[in-house]
Amino acid sequence: MQNARAKTKFCLWYNIYMDYEKRAKRQSLRIIVSEFIMVLAVVSMVIVLALVVSGYWINGDLKVERQGMLQINSIPTGLNITIDDELLRFQRTNSSKILSSGEHKVLLSKEGYDTWTKTVTIREGLLYRLNYPYLFPQEREKEDVYDATGTTFATVSPSRNWILLTNKTTNWVLINLDSNNIKPTAVDISKVFSSVSLATGATSGLFTGEILATEWDNANEHILFKVQNGANIEWVLLNVKNVLRSINLTREFASNFEDVRILGSSASSLLAMRSGNLHKIDVESRQISAILASGVIHYDYYDNEIVYSTKEEINLLKIGDDKPTALKELEAPATILLSKFYEDKYITVIRDLEIIVYKKDDLTEVARADLSFSPTYTKVGHDGDFIFLRDGSKIATFDMEALALKEWSPESEKFGWLTSYMLYTVKNNELIVYDYDGLNRRSISTNVSDHFPVTITNNRWMYYFSDDELVREWLVNR
């Protein structure tokens, strides 16, 4: 009897244990299956995201194709976007849009403004940025803000917040354009320039030089002047906020410099070339370095690196290094540009009616195009996204985004930069604007003088000269 009860207990325990084992196995199996499904889902999501980032997408026919992305930023923001004649009803600038590879026509519009359009080429798996479209309000309030009678030359700072007006006297005028109330500040240049006629004991005199070129530093405090003084060229670094700290470079170093440029974002250092030799000038200590490079035909710099060409080769010199590095042999003298686009640096070589773009790190050729003219003026775009070339009224723009060269001509040889991406010219007192590649030509104002600059400040005002008046147009409501 006792054995029977023990056997019964054992059987009951065994059945409970086996049932537990079965439940445990089923639970473990469910956990394994769940974890496998989760891992599979995560892997699938990663693969899908990787494909999307690489530009792959499912089109309307449920077929997988590789696409690209278009990013549109504009001034003003919130513009209507029409792509290939189809209005994006729930999308405005500033935003991004996935598009199939190939050409697409983009049109931006807003009630009360003009329109902007461009055909872009989307490449598989790549981003195409439109960061510069600018629309002007059709109705703008206009006011005269300063009597500029006697002004002979004007130069605008990189920030477009300041303008310096020169005249035939030694009392020039500095104006802050980023202000509701225009308050000019006097700038006495009588002790700075040699091209000044000043009687003994006089506190003011006449400015007798001809201004050939100007360059501002990014701090909006210094302006580098190249001035024709009789048969001589004079280089002056004018401190417009503290004139007493200005420096006449030609006089200070008793040198006839062929070229001088501001090095970096401030004017604490300069690069100067004399007799084909490149030097660095320390403005604070007023010291000029030994020769950094010799036999220089053309040079450019970015950050702490200088590229320059000689008759035989292209060289790279890092500021602070003793010796340059030879990069590439040349068959003929060339113009050299150093720029940065996205995260890569590029060297652009212009020679023999040809433009060639190389990656700086390994000198692989990125693009090559033929020119119909030899440029006498070159400029790298604000973010390195284009190369601007000019000879008189002939212009060529190499678009780094599209890797394409476009040649065009404005209505007049006299033109300037309205913004970092927009040029202007004045013809018969009509102010005409273009994008940097000549597209989106628009006539936006009349009765504008053609011998002084036009600029847009803080996207609030547009300034220009009309006869002897500095005029301001409001681009936003007061």
Peptide bond just before 59 cis, omega within 30 deg: no
Q: List CB contacts of 166: < 8 A, sequence separation 6 or more.
A: 151, 152, 153, 154, 155, 172, 207, 211
Pairing of strands 127-130, 64-72: parallel
Backbone angles phi, psi at 87, to 5 degrees: -75, 130
For the chain, percent of residues with pLDDT exceeding 70: 85
Whether residue 5 is predicted with pLDDT greater than 70 in this model: the reply is: no
Q: Looking at the predicted structure, is the pLDDT value of residue 193 above 90?
A: yes
Which pLDDT belongs to residue 270?
A: 96
Q: What is the mean pLDDT of residues 397-410?
A: 94
- What separation in angstroms does the CA of 6 have from each of 16, 18, 19, 80, 379? 15, 18, 20, 87, 100
Cα angle 42, 46, 48; round to 5: 115
Please tell me the CATH code under which domain 154-409 is placed.
2.130.10.10
pTM: 0.84
At 49 the pLDDT is: 55
Mean pLDDT of 282-289: 95
* Secondary element (H or E) of residue 145: strand 142-147
For domain 58-130, is the CATH number 2.40.50.100? no
318-332 tens-digit pLDDT: 988 888 999 999 988
| pLDDT mean over 271-296 | 95
- List the chain domain ranges: 2-53, 58-130, 154-409
**Residue 455: band (very low, low, confident or very high) from pLDDT cuts 50, 70, 90:** very high
pLDDT at 371: 96
Are the beta carbons of 54 and 69 closer than 8 angstroms? no
CA angle 98, 101, 102 (to 5 degrees): 125
Fold equal for 58-130 and 154-409: no
